[in-house]
Amino acid sequence: MSSSASPSVSPSMEDVLPIRGIDGNTGEALPIGPASGLREGTDPYRVEVVRWAALDLPSILVEEDLTKMREQYRIPSDVQLILPGPNERACFPREGCTALHLNAFVSGMRLPLHPMLRGF
């Protein structure tokens, strides 16, 4: 089995790369970097998908944990808390949902998010 050497590129999270669809149309610019799961290659219209370690780590939360989190971090009752399914991961949340890690709350994040932060 042969492998081709790929350039070692460490772009900043501010870098973006236009992605071309199969039909050649340019899609939206996507962030490139470690957190995005994308890495820039030699072709400016080719992106290599990097496998996240989180894909192998299913959630261990149970319904009781959500109740405790709501109480401990004062999550308003109008914020719906949903347990992920067995094949769901935080790096790919359900459509219309946002996945949050417990560490975000431990670090001081609270809900509802400030209006300035909602657009990010």
Q: Are 37 and 50 in contact (CB under 8 A)?
A: yes
Would you state the pLDDT for residue 88?
86
Beta strands, E only, the chain: 16-20, 26-31, 38-40, 47-49
How far is it, in rounded angstroms, from Cα 85 to Cα 24?
35
How far is it, in rounded angstroms, from Cα 100 to Cα 105?
8
Q: Are 33 and 13 in contact (CB under 8 A)?
A: yes
Would you state the pLDDT for residue 36?
52
pLDDT in tens, 53-90: 677 788 888 999 999 999 999 999 999 999 988 888 88
pLDDT in tens, 12-66: 434 444 444 444 444 444 444 555 555 555 565 665 666 666 777 888 889 999 9
